[in-house]
Amino acid sequence: MRTAARIDRLPPYLFAEIDRKVAEARGRGADIISFGVGDPDLPTPDHVVEALREAALDPATHRYPSYVGMPELRSAIASFYERRFKVSLDPDNAIQPLVGIKEGIFHLPVAFVDQGQVALIPDPAYPVYETGTLLAGGVPHLVPLWAENDFLPDLGSIPKDVLERASVLWLNFPGNPSAATVERPFFEDAVEFCMRHDLLLAHDAAYAEITYDGYVAPSVLEVEGAEECAVEFYSLSKTYNMTGWRIGWVAGAPVAIEAIKRLKTNIDSGIFDAVQRAAIAALEGPQDQLRDTVERYRARRDLLCEGLASMGIEVSPPRGSIYLWVPVPEGHTSESFATFLLEEAAIVVAPGNGYGPSGEGFVRFSLTVSDERLAEGVERLRRVVA
């Protein structure tokens, strides 16, 4: 049996590899503390779970859902954008619910990147931007993100011949894995850049509600002209601790949303209506638990930053996301330090080179570890690193 050549081009998925290593270590009896995957340890809000329960008992939700999402959900998303960003979106033409935004991110290149065309991808970044491009037959062009530039892309450094073949620019703020943040003027420049070069700007805003120290993340859709050239992916996974529920959306330029809709009607049959009703409850219900969640992550961020600093590893506390992007000690590579921590301290971190070549020299710590286990993890780090 021979697999398709496109499958041969796909690398192993980073987080699947992390899960495999964790399982192997636990199989050997190791007491693993995993900082590897950004999967919230905190529960989904009670009123969201109750909305799902009630909806699942309603036989009306047991049939095929709409391909384009419930009108009530699209209206709730539009209302969210109006409240949060003062942005008006047409629920029918500018919003498409997704089976988790990973699905939409992976499939977007199928709709916008022809064979041999270029997608401009931050490096380091969420690996799915690149793998989706590869499966679509596109060519990833990695735009390095350097610490000296606050992990922001230098769009002016992209070669002219690359821009002539490019169709999509990916951005992600607050960033994964770097936790970088931006202010609105950055998006204004990016929108102008994309309009000048006839690019679709695809912004992954999965962590936009997880911010600290008074910072409020902007939306690219706030910028004049974005309605013509940009889409934004938003997820309920990290905001409401709903990673397993698989629901999010993409919103923005109607031409782009229409193409994504056409693609999705040929790929899947929509999102379980009970999950959509739960998503409405999350967006329209009380937000107290979100505020509590953010405060919990802030405290964990500070504890981990202080612990690392006591070992001589300085990390500036990020203003957003659920990650710390940590430089490895001298003499280590990303892989060797991750392996060292696994073998010597039973701690799992994500090696930075798994997010792209420019991630070499870093590892990513996730804050989705219980307070008690995080404190124990810091003590283990102190014993083996110091």
So what CATH class is 5-44+288-385?
alpha beta
Q: What pLDDT was estimated at residue 15?
A: 66
What mean pLDDT comes out for the span 344-362?
A: 96
Quickly state the pLDDT bin for 4 (edges 50, 70, 90): confident
Q: Tens digits of per-residue pLDDT, 244-263? A: 999 999 999 999 999 999 99
Q: What is the largest CA-CA distance in the chain?
A: 61
pLDDT > 70: what percent of the chain? Answer: 99
Q: Tens digits of per-residue pLDDT, 127-144? A: 999 999 999 999 999 999
pLDDT > 90: what percent of the chain? Answer: 91
More confident residue, 333 or 7: 333
Place of tokens 């993890």: 377
What is the overall mean pLDDT for the chain?
Answer: 95
Whether the upstream peptide bond of residue 124 has omega within 30° of 0, thus cis, is yes
Amino acid at position 214, single letter: G
Which of 7-11, 157-161, 184-188, 373-377 comes out lowest in average pLDDT?
A: 7-11
Phi-psi region at 241: left, alpha or beta (left = phi > 0; alpha = psi -120 to 50): left
Nearest to 81, CA basis, from 192, 231, 202, 286: 231
Q: What pLDDT was estimated at residue 17?
A: 75
Instruction: Report strand pairing: 118-123 vs 166-172.
Output: parallel
Return residue ranges of the chain for CATH 3.40.640.10.
63-284
Report the Cα 259 to chain-centroid distance in Å: 22
Which of 4-13, 101-110, 343-352, 360-369 comes out lowest in average pLDDT?
A: 4-13
For 208-334, list the strands marked E by DSSP.
230-235, 248-252, 323-327
Q: Tens digits of per-residue pLDDT, 20-63? A: 877 887 888 889 999 999 999 999 999 999 999 999 999 999 99
Q: For the domain 63-284, what is the CATH code? A: 3.40.640.10
What mean pLDDT comes out for the span 311-315?
A: 93
Amino acid at position 181, single letter: T
**HEC string for 73-112:** HHHHHHHHHHHHHCCCCCCCCCEEEECCHHHHHHHHHHHH
Quickly state the pLDDT bin for 16 (edges 50, 70, 90): confident
Query: Is the pLDDT reported for residue 353 higher than 90?
Result: yes
Q: What pLDDT was estimated at residue 18?
A: 73
Return residue ranges of the chain for CATH 3.90.1150.10.
5-44+288-385
